[in-house]
Structure 1
Amino acid sequence: MTACEVCGEETGGRYLCERHTIAVARRLALLPDLDSDLAMYLVPARAPFGEHVTGNVAGSRPPINLDVLSLMQANRAPQVVQSWRVDVQRVRWPERSAPPPAGLAADCRWLGMELEWIAEHYPAAGEMARELAELEVELRSLGAEPAPRREGLCVAVTDDQGTVCGAVLRPGPDKVVRCRWCGTEYRTEQDLLLLQHYQPKQSA
């Protein structure tokens, strides 16, 4: 084997070139964040934030967003990454039993720590790299985005009991911060300042 299994670049015997080894490392670091980001849409915030400043949608919602639940069920990242961890361990240490389920973040960390060995010695390294790339695309298509694009949590009051929406906010293509759950828009500088002011306080 003298070429990268992903791009065909000469590697001097490695299964992955340096560029695609780095790409795999990036995805192993990113996938848990994308998975967690998607999960944040599942259950809306129910506790009041304190004093609220917006509220343009009335009506009740179920405690779980059923559309998002359907999306979560379509997320296969934990199962796929776990299967790669099991197979890498099988090839590298055939005398060991399969690792128990540890969760997506732990499996990604484990694969990341073994990445140099994978790039040099694991025959299925190219297939793993391609499948991790597909998982990133799938998670983003379900609505997941890494943390830096978040604008906070929606502070709109959605009913007469004072229930706060609590959905994660992000700027849309038109740069307007719009809640995709309750429809509240934060357009002006004043809106955004108030949005940040009424964010829930982080515990120390």
Structure 2
Amino acid sequence: MGVDLISLLNHRIPFEGKTLAEIIAIIQPKLDAMELDNQGFLLEYTSDWYKASPQQRIALAKAKATRWQPLIEDPRYYDFDTSDSKTIDFDGPYDLRLSFDPYTILSFSPPYRYRQWFGLQHADGTEATAVRNEWRRYLRQVARTFGGDRAIYLADNAHPLTTYWYEDKALEEVEQQMRAELGEPKKTFREVYEGENTDYFVDYFSDIP
């Protein structure tokens, strides 16, 4: 079973004491006003992912006008207003999806395996740094839209970093916990790719324009 990438962003959304309707009213206008910086890249990536026909590419190109939509679950199975674990997902253009809770924003993209993300390559084996940086620009834009400034890349499926995904605390506190338990984060993606399972990277996006 593969180990998927978990991209967590920090935010400053005031969840406390808010109903689902109030949280949606805070998040959705900001998402809809967020003019994605790299729409061309997102269109090309999504088109290639689906091996889109010319007609499908036209439909995908129109996706930039798509509003973000909250995914409201059946209250018989999950009720945000009464649950102790509050979370709301939004679907957006180019098959993007974000999940918000009181502590972090989970981005379902980039859609890579954990190790693949840190050693990202083109089909010919050359490094795909530019592709990774486009995804990082998207993550940076989402984080900044909601008052955040960083991402931490974790892994699922019982990877040693999985446990930090389930911490009910702000991402800044998770980062401090990881520093205390695992040591300092690595400074490059390559170091994580070539290192141990407990090596990790805190992305402040400082090296991308």
Q: TM-score, normalised by structure 2?
A: 0.30
Which structure: greater helix fraction? 1
Which structure: greater strand fraction? 2
Considering only CA atoms, is the larger Rg found in Structure 1 or Structure 2? 1
